[in-house]
Structure 1
Amino acid sequence: MQKILHRFSRWLALALAAALVLGLAGCGDASNSFTWFVEEIPSNLDPQVASAPADVIACKNLYGGLLRLGPDGQLQNDLCESWSVSADGLRYTFTLRDGLTYTAAKGEPTEYAITAEDFVYAFQRVFLPETRSPYAAEFSALENAAAILAGQMDVSALGVSAPDERTVVFTLSQPDDGFLHKLTLPGAMPCDEEFFLGTRGTYGLTASSTLSSGSFYLYNWTSSGLFLWRAADGTRIDSLRLVQNTGAAGQSAEELILNERCSAALDDTAAPTALRSVSYSDTTWCLVFNCEALDSALLRQALSAAALDADYQPDSALYTAAQGLVPDGLTVDGLDYREQAGNAMPSLGDAAGLYRAALAADPALDLAGVTILLPTGSGLISTAEQINSFWQKELSLFFSVEEAEAADFAQRLAEGDYTIALVPVTAESNSVYGLLSQFSPEGLTRYDNPHFAALLDQSLNATGAARCALLAQAEAQLVDDCALLPLFAQQKRLLIADGVEGLVFDPYGPLLDLTYTTRE
């Protein structure tokens, strides 16, 4: 729920990562450090579990995988020295580099070798029910994945094996064109079974229960921040600091960078800037209807049809017309989802006719006291008022408009204490399934539709274009039922200082990978 609501300024799809691999600069520090502000200090460094933005950033830099996106946006060997794919696309074989070992906190060496079995165990953990891994859906093409998730087979039957200490073999039940890219996700990072069991349930929760398999290691982890280090090597960034922005309240993203408080920052304004920037969109502003309070689909469709006729587009370059709930840039198995799914905006017809049909179906329909809720400071009060006035004009419905402070706004949405709201729906991972699956009877809109739920379940057992099609049907069902009405996409940008090269940036999360980052 919180992943939908709580950020108004804040993984770009893997297929577009090359476009966002940047030459970025850290601020003028004496050491080659990079500082990034997080809303919350990382709390879980278990890569098979990590899903919160700060946790994912930390895991991406702390752990190595078989493959990693390089500075040119292309896949690079990471812990493997070579790999091959069978002609039918169902068997992937990786050979690990020789002599790999894990590193403990403070850079202390360990006797734990990184072996092929560690990848087998990591993937088995992803599919164990008690892990509750967010990555199981991404690896649904693995052999027997569906049966394991359904509890029909033991996790040992998963299509991941280790013929010897340096060979990892993945067997798929169906081709997955995006499989190699998925191997860069935190969930695909190795996990040593002996060490994991020895932590007795604290794996990744403390410094002593965390091992590094990447180029960075965990140096310090306190309430003040998480600090990753690696050996100095010329111009290479040697420390990553994930800290909260304390003592600089009110400063803009540009000011924070120019004042050397951080090395790069996300910005959701259109203010002129002398800094380099990269634009992206991860948020769709939607009219959201509480389907418990407004249980008539006809009424929701009437309100949506009238809103579509209103001139609600804000007078700002920050906003562009939405083509659906899912923002541009997200991929499904390497395919551009929005391009595959097309425009998902509903065709509803005559608003007044729909409203008359709703009244005929429920003559006791009572809309007295309905309020349109939106967050204070969104800059969209005029948009809400424009839509409201159109409802008055077309449907003779008289609602009020109410702004609420961020914390109160989020709480009221979470508790279902609203009827209609103007809400920023943010994608915080490169998962269309993850975004759509948050709409449930207990979710933001209290939307309860068995067909919608079935489409999402079916998508878990499909790949490529077939999976895209199922997810597109689910998105269309959600929008056509008018549980929400996408209005416009909000444009954002990453502001960056000068001088550093090789930072891989992915705004969905957001995600930063400094493995190849240097500072001249």
Structure 2
Amino acid sequence: MFIDLYNLVCYNNRQQISQRHIIKMKNKKAIKIFSIILCLCLTAALFSGCGSKNKAIDFIYPFSADVKSYDPQVASTSDEFLIIENTFEGLIRMDDNGKITSGMADSWNVSDDGLTYTFTLKKGMKWNIDTETDDKGEFKDSRLKMLGRVFDPEITANDFVFALRRAAQPETECPLFSSIACIKNAVSVHNGKMSSDKLGVKAVNNYQLEITLASADDSFMQTLTTAVAMPCNEEFFNATKGRYGLSTEYTLFNGQFYLSQILESSYLLKRNDKYTGPSAAKATELTLKITSGEDSAKLADNISSGYYDAAFISGSESDKIKQSSGVTYTSYNDTVWGFAFNTSTLLFQNDKMRKAFCLGLTRLDNTGKQYLTDATNIIPSSCTIGGKKAVDLIGNNVPKQDSAKSVELWKEGLKSISNTDFTVDILTTKTMQNYVKRMLQGVQSGIGNITENSDKEKITLTFKITAVDDSELDSKFADGDYDIAFRSYKATSSTAGAFLTTFEKSSVTALDSEKLKSYISKAESATSTKDAASYTKSAQYEIVGKYYIYPMLYETSYYAAAKGVSGIQFHAGTGRVSFVNATRE
């Protein structure tokens, strides 16, 4: 009886007990005896179990399972950054107040000119690999079986040298390269003009790392807390033969958690008992619940009910969490909505037609919602250049509306098109459908009233708005099944350069990706914030100024934590969420 009652008292409040046994006493004496035993059990549980620092704490967090790799140097999606944030640890960490604290490094020093960073690593820090053998002398860990030899699991300065060299190498195609472009020779290595051993990173010895920058960067310490600077063991990497990070069998973790299981409906992270650093996890498990097909309304409801411990909430669902008692939330802007043109269509391969459409749109000075505001450029306000807000440095770069010019350009564009009957399918989400209708009012009252071309032929122009779910919109956009798409672009990195890099591989076929890449590269290698901002502005022009994508709205989103949950660390605009210090009342 003691064990059953003890478990009942300490049973995790996240689990549901479907049936409770009712103990029936036949007489007052039995009831009295039971009451005494119950009190003793409750007292014992209070002091020996439930009050223990070692009690189990588990969290449930929703994510879309957009995961192709666990390799920090190639991670690009929010879900990949989420896993890496909790399963890897770099030289340093950032605490809840934005202060740099110790990670794998015990101490560090920055030279007076801000160009040389020296880190001293802790001794005895290890990868999560079991080096023990069974009774037959065979390795217990399948990763050692792959290596086929004894492996030293200690983490050294060489692991960080190899990781940063990989991030700089062009073949890695590291999405976060722009954030380390300030390292000496990084741009030349990335462009293939130098070998990676010329990168300004070296291991002075096993426990001392030296990084030399080409130009001072006030945000470099923050960069070292991100995925791009997580360690990578060269011996293990080579043993995977190109499969590093593709599964847990080909990945080494060194963080507070490790990826234990991948199930049909969830990913399970467990506390890493081999972690001996300064920031051990308080939680024992983190369940990443796959929410494919689950609408945003249910997501907000599940935060309010406490089913989920935390989640990103869209602006359209923000009222629910604001009204929910005990739910805490942080607002941020990492999303921009804009019209993207399919340049393979007859109508919009013509730059005059794209420009005419954009200049004729009605801007929404008042959307009626606090979370939707007018966009001044395509870069969200969460993105930075040299540690400063990019939108403040480059200013308003969206061409202003001009209805007269819109009509003039449309008429001019019609001269090179033989068709006279046009139906334009505008694809968007259900939450944005009414806003798109309002934006089209100016277009319809302008170019929509043009009834004939220069040859006096009758012209018909019909706009058809198709509202679909977010996932269907993404699918149709990727397949090119649209004329115009009003869609969102979300930043998964804090730097403007990394955000703009996502457009290099966009489905906008006419976009000069090489020219865009060139401007981004120049911005990354710029020695001053002013020059970096200038090149970033030029990169943005290749997208917006040529009317491939025309931004209209910024969306404020929210990061919410359920009642009683605290210590979850959220990094705006990056997808990074750390559960290392997370706990629950």
Structure 1 position 333 matched with structure 2 position 371: no
Partners in 2 of 1:213 and 1:225 — Cα distance? 22
For 1:281 and 1:418, locate their aligned partners in 2 and report how far apart those are by CA, in whole Å: 27
Cα drift, residue 238 of structure 1 = 2.4
Which of residues 497, 500, 506 in structure 2 aligns to 1:436? 500
State the AA in 2 paired with 1:401: K
Which of 429, 447, 455 aligns to 2:519? It is 455
The answer to whether structure 1 residue 302 and structure 2 residue 356 are counterparts is: yes
1:31 aligns with 2:56: yes
User: Is 1:47 aligned to residue 72 of structure 2?
Assistant: yes
1:401 corresponding residue in structure 2: 464
Partner of 1:113: 154
Q: How does 1:167-178 map to 2 (within 5 A)?
A: 167-178=208-219
Aligned counterpart, 2:426: 373
- 1:45-444 equivalent positions in 2, closer than 5 A: 45-104=70-129, 111-230=152-271, 236-245=282-291, 252-268=298-314, 269-272=317-320, 273-274=323-324, 275-293=327-345, 294-308=348-362, 311=364, 313-347=366-400, 350-357=402-409, 359-360=411-412, 363-365=415-417, 366=419, 368-378=421-431, 380-395=432-447, 396-397=449-450, 398-406=461-469, 407-440=471-504, 443-444=507-508
Query: What is the CA-CA distance between 1:286 and the residue it aligns to?
Result: 1.0
Between 330-339 and 474-483, the greater mean CA deviation after superposition: 474-483
Bigger RCO of structures 1 and 2 (CA < 8 A, at least 6 apart): 1
SS state of the match for residue 494, structure 2?
coil
- Structure 2 residues not aligned, in runs of 5+: 1-11, 16-54, 133-139, 142-150, 274-278, 451-460
- Contact 2:477 2:507 (8 Å CA) reproduced: no
CA distance in structure 2 between the partners assigned to 1:236 and 1:106 by the alignment: 26
TM-score by length of 2: 0.76
Pair 39,509 (structure 1): closer, same or farther in 2 beyond 3 Å = farther
**Corresponding residue SS for 1:399:** strand
Q: Would you say the 8 A contact 2:306–2:563 is kept in 1?
A: no
In the TM superposition, what is the alpha-carbon distance from 1:71 to its structure 2 partner? 1.8
1:470 aligned to 2:535?
Answer: yes
Unaligned runs of 5+ in 1: 1-25
Distance in 2 (CA, whole Å) between partners of 1:136 and 1:453 is 12
State whether residues 281 and 579 of structure 2, in contact with CA within 8 Å, keep that contact through their aligned partners in structure 1. no
**TM, length-normalised to structure 1:** 0.85
1:92 to partner: Cα distance: 0.8
For 1:306 and 1:338, locate their aligned partners in 2 and report how far apart those are by CA, in whole Å: 24
Residue 494 (structure 1) shift: 2.1
Amino acid at match of 1:176: D
Q: Deviations over 1:205-264 (max 9, x none)?
A: 333332222222333334443222227999922222212137977862342134443211
Q: Conserved in 2, the CA contact under 8 Å of 1:42 and 1:226?
A: no
CA contact (8 A) 1:48 1:186 kept: yes
CA change 1:202–1:281 in 2 (3 A) is: same
Per the TM alignment, residue 300 of structure 1 is displaced from its structure 2 partner at its CA by 2.5
1:393 deviation in Å?
1.7
The residue type paired with residue 423 of structure 1 is: R
| C-alpha contact 1:41 1:243 (8 A) present in aligned 2 | no
Question: What is the DSSP-based 3-state SS (H/G/I as helix, E as strand, rest coil) of the residue aligned with 2:319?
Answer: coil
Q: Which amino acid aligns with 1:265?
A: A
Counterpart AA for 1:468: A
Report the CA distance between 1:105 and its aligned residue: 7.4
Greater radius of gyration (CA):
2
Q: Greater CA deviation, 94-103 or 203-212?
A: 203-212
Cα distance change, pair 136–444 in 1 and its aligned pair in 2 (3 A): same
CA offset at residue 344 of structure 1? Answer: 2.1
The CA deviation at 1:204 is 2.3
Matched to 2:333, the amino acid is S
2:543 alignment partner AA: L
Contact 2:60 2:309 (C-alpha < 8 Å) held by counterparts: yes
Secondary structure of the equivalent of 2:434? helix
More helix by share: 2
Q: Does the 8 A contact of 1:312 with 1:387 survive in 2?
A: no
Aligned to 1:492: 557
Measure the CA separation in 2 of the matches of 1:150 and 1:179.
21
Q: Does the Cα contact within 8 Å between 1:301 and 1:351 map onto a contact in 2?
A: no
Contact map agreement 1:445 1:484 (CA 8 A) in 2: no
Asked whether the equivalents of residues 281 and 328 of structure 1 are also in contact (C-alpha less than 8 Å), the reply is yes
Q: Which amino acid aligns with 1:80?
A: A
1:94 deviates by 0.5
What is the number of residues matched between the two proteins?
Answer: 492
Q: CA deviation at 1:169?
A: 0.4
Judge which range, 447-456 or 480-489, deviates more: 447-456
